[in-house]
Amino acid sequence: MDIYVRRGDSFWYYSNLFNIPLQLIIDSNRDLDPNALTVGRTVKIPGYAAVDYRIRAGDTLWQIARSRNIQVDALLLANRNINPNGLYIGQMIKVPTRITWRIVQGKKNYDYSSLMNDFRRLESVYPFMRVPSIGNSILGKKIPEALIGDGKKKVHYNGAFHANEWITTPVLMTFLNDYLMALTNQSSIRGLSMLNLYTQTALSIVPMVNPDGVNLVLNGPPEEEPWNERVVEWNKGSMDFSGWKANIRGVDLNDQFPAEWEKEKARNPTQPGPRDYVGEKPLSEPEAIAMAQLTRNRDFSRVLAFHTQGEVIYWGFENLEPPESEAMVNEFARVSGYQPVKTIESYAGYKDWFIQDWRRPGFTVELGFGINPLPLSQFDEIYEEALGIFLAGLYL
C-alpha cells in the first residue's frame, strides 16, 4: 500500500502507526533515505492493501477507522486530499487493510502463468521482497527468483527442475506467502519468530527452474515452432506428457551440472526425450546456466533442491560434503519424518555440483510419495512435511 509523506513524518512513525517492523518498512523503500524523507514522496507500507470504500450516510473517519481496527491518521495518509470534515455520500476513499490471508492458492494445476500472477500480487503487498529474473528459458520465459532479507546466512531453495514434479512450485510459493505474511503480522510459524530469521538470513527461492517443461506437462505442446512437433515426436507420438521431466529441448536439467557428468552421460539416453538425456555437454541449457550463474553470484551457505517423490533427503556426494551436513539432514528428518540418505549412484545434479565446488551443505529433498506428477490430494500433507524443512533451513 502506498501513502504520501507529510512534513515531520518518519519511517519510525509509520512503523508504530501500522504496527509493522521498522526494518520491513526500510527494506520496502530502498530508494528512499530514512533520515531525509521528502514531503509528497510515496512510501510503501508492506502487509497492507488499500481497499476501496464508498461513504454512506452518517459515516465519519473515526467510525470507519474504529470498525477497521486502524487509526484515523492511517486513513488520512492513504487518502492524500481527503477532507475529514467534508465527507459526502458516494465518495470513494481508500481504507488501509492488513493482509491476514494467503494470496497464493497453490492447490491447483500451477503453471507458469499462475506463478507470475502470484509473484505480481505478492510483490505489491510485500515490497521488501525483490523478484529479479535469473535468466530465460528456451522459449524466452523469465525465470524469477524471490529474495527476502539481507542477513549473513545465505540460503537457497528451488523447485521444478523436473517438469512433472511441478507440485514443488506451489509448495514453495505457499511457504513464501506464509513467511511474508508472518513477518508483516509479527506472528510465529510453529513457535518460531520469523522476524528473527529475517534479520539473520538472506533467502533465495527459485520456485520454477523449468517453466517450459511445467507448461508442457500441464497445458500440452507450445505453439512455438519447431517445439510443438518435436516434443510430440520425442514423446513417441503421445499427447500425454505426464511422464515428461526434461526442458522443452528434451534435456534433463538436473543432469546438466559438471559433477561427474560423464558418468551420467554414459548410462543415459543419447537423444533428447522426456527424461534422463543429459545434453551434449554440461551446462548446455539456458535454465541450467541461469542456476549456475545465480549460485556463483550469490555465494550460498547452503542449497536445498525440492523434487518429488519418495520422502527421502539426499545429502552427500562423493564424500565431499562438510561434516555439518549430517547434523543438518538429521534435523530435516526430525521435522519432516523423511529418511536421510547420504548418497545413491547419481551424478551431475545441482546439489552434487554445489557440494563438489563449494564443499558446503547441499540437499535434494524428495517430497511426497507415489507416481509423478503427484496428485493435488497430497498437497496439504506435503506442505506440512516440507514446512519443517523450510524453517530448519533458515534457523540451522
| Nine-digit cell string for 36 | 531525509
Nearest to 364 by CA among 384, 389, 391: 389
* Cβ contact 158:305 at 8 Å: yes
What is the CB neighbour count within 10 angstroms for residue 261? 21
- By three-state DSSP, how is residue 56 classified? coil
Can you give the length of the chain in residues? Answer: 396
Q: Measured between alpha carbons, how far is 21 from 367 in angstroms, rounded to an integer? A: 33
Based on the residue annotation, tell me whether 366 is a catalytic residue of this protein.
Answer: yes
* Cβ contact 210:287 at 8 Å: yes
* Cβ contact 259:348 at 8 Å: yes
Q: Measured between alpha carbons, how far is 272 from 256 in angstroms, rounded to an integer? A: 13
Based on the residue annotation, tell me whether 347 is a catalytic residue of this protein.
Answer: yes
Choice among 48, 366, 383, 385 that is catalytic: 366
For residue 13, give every residue at least 6 positions away whose Cβ sits within 8 Å of its Cβ, in sequence order, or none. none
Q: Is 262 exposed, middle or buried (0-12, 13-18, 19+ CB in 10 A)?
A: exposed
Choice among 338, 347, 350, 383 that is catalytic: 347
As annotated, the active-site residues are 347, 366
